[in-house]
């Protein structure tokens, strides 16, 4: 049974902690983050700026910048613990089985090398194939990533391409070795809405072919469009986890509710930039009790004293909140969020 679970879950983060050294001890930027990314599904990770989304991705890819480091927990790729394996073994596994795309493709593409050659390199580094075979694979992948006229684009330099095309090249590069896991960190932030929709559709196709995708975004619209499951993060902790319909129809954590009502205000056309009062706390000086309590309209005295643990309120739906009826004061009506997931 456990075997079967591990097979289905390509990536499991189990109590992952990470931090940076500070004058007094350490600033913890990931605090017992647990989530899983199953094969053939898109798992969303959402939260305001600075909550730890990119740190989570970087921890998995072993890309946390010095002096930051993972300080605890486990990262399992198909059941293999990445943190306890030898560096060389982890590097090999990472190149072959995991890939990541970043928000700004320009920072990851080599400006003085033809984009086709860069995708070729990705194949040549990990597989023993001829240059001709690598090029064939590249052209096939550029086509699959929706790059028009791949033969011509193969010879372009990054600056000759639009932002959307550069992101497609990055996706082609990430996918050309058919990784089991794709981590996409804000892959559509720099793009206009039409291109964003195309890139998201492409992710959906990739996941339908079996890739496990972790999609990081602060854009709930993008998350609603393609994700199967979502984890909501606040100040380095996961605060709510559910499948997409449950999260959008029945959000329970006051933070998730705040994020969702911000989206519905924007959809109404009312110029509301943030309907959650206050801002993300400084991780070096977190408030006592629940980290969200200073901004939470539902907080009680206990919330400022006791740190809530994650608990399951229905199968697959977990929240980190002390309220018995989280996000709902006695007598308060349910927030109107239904229908968002469908759009």
Ligand X SMILES: Nc1ncnc2c1ncn2[C@@H]1O[C@H](COP(=O)(O)OP(=O)(O)OP(=O)(O)O)[C@@H](O)[C@H]1O
Q: Choose which of 32, 33, 37, 52 interacts with ligand X (CB under 6 A).
A: 52
20 binds ligand X per the rule CB under 6 A: yes
| CB of 195 or CB of 216, closer to Mg ion | 216
Binding pattern for the stretch 215-254 against ligand X, x by CB under 6 A and - elsewhere: ---x------------------------------------
Give the one entry of Mg ion, ligand X, none that residue 263 binds, where binding means its C-beta sits below a cut-off of 5 to 8 angstroms depending on kind.
Answer: none
Contact with ligand X (CB under 6 A): which of 12, 31, 59, 68? 68
As a whole number of angstroms, the distance between CA 231 and CA 238 comes to: 6
The site map against ligand X for 279-318 (x = CB under 6 A) is ----x-----------------------------------
By CB under 6 A, residue 337 contacts ligand X: no
Number of residues that bind ligand X (CB under 6 A): 15
Angle, CA of 233, 236 and 238, to the nearest 5°: 35
Selected from 6, 14, 39, 50, the binder of ligand X by CB under 6 A is 50
Mention every residue, 6+ apart, whose C-beta is less than 8 A from residue 234: 47, 48, 51, 255, 280, 291, 292
Residue 23 within binding range of ligand X, rule CB under 6 A: no
Stretch in the footprint of Mg ion (CB under 5 A) among 52-60, 113-121, 130-138, 273-281: 52-60
- Residues in contact with ligand X by CB under 6 A are 20, 27, 29, 47, 49-55, 65, 68, 218, 283
Binding interface with Mg ion (CB under 5 A) = 53-54
């Amino acid at each position: 049974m456990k075997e079967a679970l591990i097979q289905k879950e390509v990536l499991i983060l189990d109590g992952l902690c990470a931090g940076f050294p500070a004058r007094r001890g350490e600033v913890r930027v990931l605090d017992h983050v647990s989530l899983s990314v199953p094969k053939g599904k898109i798992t969303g990770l959402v939260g305001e700026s600075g909550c730890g989304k990119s740190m989570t991705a970087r921890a998995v890819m072993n890309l946390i910048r010095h002096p930051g480091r993972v300080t605890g927990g486990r990262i399992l790729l198909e059941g293999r613990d990445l943190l306890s394996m030898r560096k060389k073994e982890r590097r090999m596994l990472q190149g072959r089985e995991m890939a990541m795309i970043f928000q700004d493709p320009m920072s990851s593409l080599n400006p003085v090398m033809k984009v086709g050659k860069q995708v070729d390199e990705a194949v040549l580094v990990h597989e023993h194939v001829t240059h001709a075979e690598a090029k064939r694979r590249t052209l096939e992948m550029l086509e699959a990533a929706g790059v028009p006229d791949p033969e011509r684009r193969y010879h372009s330099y990054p600056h000759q391409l639009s932002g959307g095309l550069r992101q497609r090249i990055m996706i082609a590069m990430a996918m050309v070795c058919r990784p089991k896991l794709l981590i996409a960190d804000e892959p559509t932030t720099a793009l206009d809405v039409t291109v964003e929709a195309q890139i998201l559709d492409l992710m959906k196709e990739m996941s339908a072919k079996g890739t496990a995708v972790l999609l990081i975004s602060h854009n709930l619209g993008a998350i609603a469009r393609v994700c199967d499951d979502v984890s909501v993060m606040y100040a380095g902790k996961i605060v709510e986890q559910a499948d997409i319909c449950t999260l959008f129809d029945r959000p329970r954590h006051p933070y998730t509710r705040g994020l969702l009502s911000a989206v519905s205000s924007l959809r109404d056309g009312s110029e509301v930039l943030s309907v959650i009062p206050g801002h993300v706390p400084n991780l070096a000086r977190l408030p006592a009790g629940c980290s969200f309590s200073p901004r939470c309209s539902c907080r009680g005295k206990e919330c400022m004293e006791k740190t809530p643990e994650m608990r399951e309120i229905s199968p697959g739906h977990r929240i980190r909140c002390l309220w018995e009826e989280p996000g709902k004061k006695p007598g308060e009506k349910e927030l109107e969020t239904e229908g968002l997931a469908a759009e």
